[in-house]
Each structure stands twice: as C-alpha cells, then as structure tokens.
Amino acid sequence: MSRLWRRHSNWLAPTLFILPGIVLFGVVIIFASLQTIWVSFHEWDGVGAMVWVGLDNYRQLIDDPQFFVSLKNNVIWLVMFMAAPPLGLALALMLNQPIAGMRIVKSLFFIPLVLASVTVGVVFTWVYDPSFGLLALIFTAFGATASALLSDENFVTVAVVIAALWPQIAFCLVLFLAGLNNLNEELIGAGRVDGARGFAMLWNVILPQLREVSFIALAVTVIGALRSFDMVAVMTSGGPFGSSTVLAYQMYEQSIFSYRFGYGAAIATVLFVIMAGFIVWYLHTLLKVEEGNA
C-alpha cells in the first residue's frame, strides 16, 4: 500500500485534495442548476411524482402577464443599477484625499456594503413610511403630501431599487478607491505637464487606467441587479398586487407558496439563460485578460 502510494502520490495526492471541493460544488451547485432545467419540463407539486409536460410551462409563461411584469421590473433594476458605478466613482474621487482622518471616513462610507440586505430593506421601509418616514417629513416641509411609495404600483419598484443602490454604490466605491490607489503617477504627471485638467484629465488619463476596475464594477452591478430577491421579499413581497415582482421572486413564490415547482423551475431557467449569456461574456473577457498578463 505505502509503496503504491509513494509511486503514485504525485498525481493521486492532488486528485484527493481537489476531490471534496469538486464533488460538493458539482453536486450542490452545478448539478442542481442543471436539474432545474429538467424539472421545468414537468408538472410537480414538490412532493408527489413529476409528470412530463414538455414545453407546457414555457407556453404558460408566454401567456402569463405576471411574467412580463417581472421581466419589465428586472429591466428597471438593470437600468437603474447602472447608476452605481458612476456614483461609486464620484464618491471615490471625492474621498481620495491624503488628509488625517480620511481612513475612518472611508470606512464609514463602506458600511452599507457589509449590512445584510434584510437590514437595508427594514431601514428603507422605514424611510419610506408614509406617515412619519424621512421622505414624508421632507414632503411635508415643502407643503406636499408624500405618497406611500411602497404601496404605489407605479413607484414601488423604483423605491426598492433606490434602497438596493445604497450598498451597491458602496461596493463600487471600494473598487474604485482601490483603482485610484494603483494609478500610474508618471502618466498623471505627464498629463499635468501637457496641461490636462479637470474633466479632460479624468476622461483621457485616469479612466483608461481604471478600465479593469470599471469592468469589474460593471460586472458585479449587473449580477447584483439580476439577483435581486432579498429586498423585494423584505420590502414588498412582490406587492402591491404583484407589481414589484422580479423573476427571482416570482419563481420563489410560484414554487414555495403555490407548489408549482415545474412552473417555478421554468422561470428560474429563463433567469438562468439571461444570466448565462452574461457569465459567458464575463468569463471570456476575464480569460482574455489573464492570457494578456501571462
């Protein structure tokens, strides 16, 4: 045994090392994700036998107005979330000063990032409270009456996204501050000698150097927008009248509350296809950068 082990340990040991990680991740994450696609071709209440229905669930999706509400809201999330990278960059530019005490100030700005989304949701539900919330207070100061944002079908998604932007901007801020710390001093110096100032300096000298960081900020923002679930669940439960659902939430609701696991799986598969397109683009760019570095 021990001789056998010694002769083969050069490949056997690494295989044994990597195996637990691969098996666990493979079964619980990768295989489960693929299984969902399989479930989406069935009708299933989550307990009994699965009945093959082919593309029925997808046909129903196309006729389901709620599905298009979710899809529309996902687009709103995506579009509004695009504000996070520029705002994060703006904050980073404001905070990147070598003055005593700025370290503490920066870390205070990072706090929303480490809060649970449930915490953020509870905090903002309260900001939006129509009788005594911060928003109501501001409206009253101007002599207007605040509408109950979270029970207004037209504004509810926008209100939830604004709350979700809070930690997302903080995340982009962290990334851009790191980027600003890695700038090439010589290029900046040369730019200053050439008389580049203000916006021209930012656009022509600084931003090209932040390309990698911006790419990452954009990627995490897109993923964050498509993943949105917690805030919707905590702040509105998809309401009022299903007007604030997103694909992730509708899928959860259909499966857990309505016991339509096949239908839920079909919604999850649609979300997966949207995400997969994005992931492929991300990995492609990432690997290209790695090759460029090697």
Residues 76-95 binding other proteins (CB under 8 A) are 91, 93-95
Token pair recorded at residue 164: 């979700």
Token pair recorded at residue 182: 């890695």
Strand 42-43, strand 51-52: pairing? antiparallel
Residue with the two structure tokens 């207007």: 144
Terminal-to-terminal C-alpha distance of the chain: 40
Residue 61 CA to residue 47 CA, distance in Å, equals 23
Which of 79, 134, 144, 200 forms a contact with other proteins (CB under 8 A)?
134
User: Residue 52 — φ and ψ, nearest 5°?
Assistant: -65, 125
Which of 57, 73, 117, 214 forms a contact with other proteins (CB under 8 A)?
117
Build a one-symbol-per-residue string for 16-35: x at contacts with other proteins by CB under 8 A, - elsewhere: -xx-xxx-xxxxxxxxxx-x
Q: How far is the CB of 244 from other proteins (least distance, A)?
A: 16
Q: Which is nearer to other proteins, 157 or 221 (CB)?
A: 221
Residue 272, interface with other proteins (CB under 8 A)? Answer: yes
Q: How far is the CB of 63 from other proteins (least distance, A)?
A: 21
The site for other proteins, by CB under 8 A, has a size of 100
Which of 76, 158, 174, 218 forms a contact with other proteins (CB under 8 A)?
174
Q: Which are the contacts of 162, defined by CB distance < 8 A and separation ≥ 6?
A: 80, 124
- Pick out residues in 187-246 that bind other proteins (CB under 8 A): 188, 201, 206, 216, 219-220, 223-224, 226-227, 229-230, 233-234
Pairs from 135-138 (Cβ < 8 Å, separation ≥ 24): none
